[in-house]
Structure 1
Amino acid sequence: MRRAMLRAQLLLVACTSILGGLGGLAICLTGVESVIEGPFIKEEGLTPALLNSLLFVALLFAGALMILVILIKLRKASLLKLLASFSLSSAAFLVCEVYAYALVEEPAIAIDLLSVGISALTLYAVLKHPLNPVSAALQLAIGSLLGPILAFMVAPLSLLLMLLAASLYDLYAVHRGPLKRVLEETSSRGGRNAPPILSPLTVSLGGVTVGMGDVILYSSMIALSLTRPNLDFLRYVVVLAALYTGVYLTFKLLERRRYVAALPIPMLLSILAYTLYLTLKM
């Protein structure tokens, strides 16, 4: 059983790394990165990087707090599921539009209709069949292709500090912060596997449940390793090996604990591998 769960988790990371790499290539090689904008500062430098990290953690905390209030205080699990499903559906539309803009020379109305269709399919799947393999595949694809978009919203240093800050926050949130309460609440309702009320926010595969945020951040790191500051497949392989090692170590910890933050070990090892590789290549 444990081996099957480990294989499922590694398969999930493999899919994320492949899609994240392909997404990063599509954005990098087509020049779409110049038009990708977000709430973050895009300029290079330590000050923008620190400000972006603070904003990113603030957004993560606000999201976790909103989940806590809706699920624990208001007891509105159906509202949480609805909001999460609409958020995922909107993300599906964004992903379709960005990559269509990257891959199609003159996006037509047909592309917009396709984006709307995939968005609607995603909404239907996660609302009506939240634990279905098709729903899991859609969530995995959306999260993995969102990562490269995030990676190109900011400068490389900003992304590294944002990922580091998110990893430290994840460690706090799961073991001491708001997510601990959420995990305890959902566990009491549905056991160890992700219950339907959290399914739009998590991906379940082979008995393993990973947060959508983890998928997005894994793929953003993968996209960064492949494309920035330049295209380098060897750097991608080195960082991917570090990510796999971190996932394996996290899984071993999960055998002893009820909950383990999925970001810290894989992300810290990946950031270290990326930084050392760049340093040695200088």
Structure 2
Amino acid sequence: MFLSPENQLTQALPVLPVELIDDIIDEASRTLDVSSVSAIALASHTFRIHANKERFSSLVPYRNDGHNIEHTSRGIRTLADIIECGHSVKPSMPGVCEFVTSFSLQMIGYYDKVMPALEDGCLAYIFNNLFRPSRFPPSSAARSLSLYIYRWSRDNDDYYDDDEDNPRYNGLSWKSIHPKLLIALEDLLRLSELTQLDLAEMRNIPRNFLQGSNIKHLHLYRSTVSEFGSYYNFDNTAGGGPMLLESLDIDCFVSHCWRRPLYV
């Protein structure tokens, strides 16, 4: 019996273990350029999952250090749309959020530009889907959230009462966060697998805001802390006993309230 050249070549090729193929695709997804990773994603359902672990590991919907508010607003809306569309595809294909290990948002600009982008419901929708348990564990067990929001008024006659320290130039105040977004943020802190939180220019942070969370690493920059329970919707009995941080990084601008106990 004689085999055709094609069959002879097929028999000569070694059959690689699935685990080795997975390692090869993972390494290729980490080292190849964006277009090549996209090509891998188109090869098969399995390869797409490997490629998406790299493509969607870190979500950064801003550019120019957050000064381009229009671009950031579009990025937030687009990401929310992608997440929503992912829920409608067949269950065997995991959505974007199942691969995310970090989400970073910076917005620096006029108050009347920044706030609508935060309050249209898209960011709240993203928070409601981030860092939840996944069928396809991402490449890293760490989950990080970084928020830096800074706003200023257009002229001297514009004052905003959500920050009594400096009403014309200030970061985002916890007590001024839109209720829908605040609930989503609180749920993200308490119900998700988030392990690291970086907050910059955040005002009036409640002292018990980590209660019930899985946070292990906390970084605070130019932020202020309010009294226990202030502007906070959590049930103070939630979360049980104390939580032990593995690292705490604060700068000299963080309010003196941190000298007293932080309830978590």
- Give the TM-score of the pair, scaled to structure 2: 0.32
- Give the TM-score of the pair, scaled to structure 1: 0.30
Larger Rg: 2
Q: Which has the higher helix share?
A: 1
Q: Which has the higher strand share?
A: 2
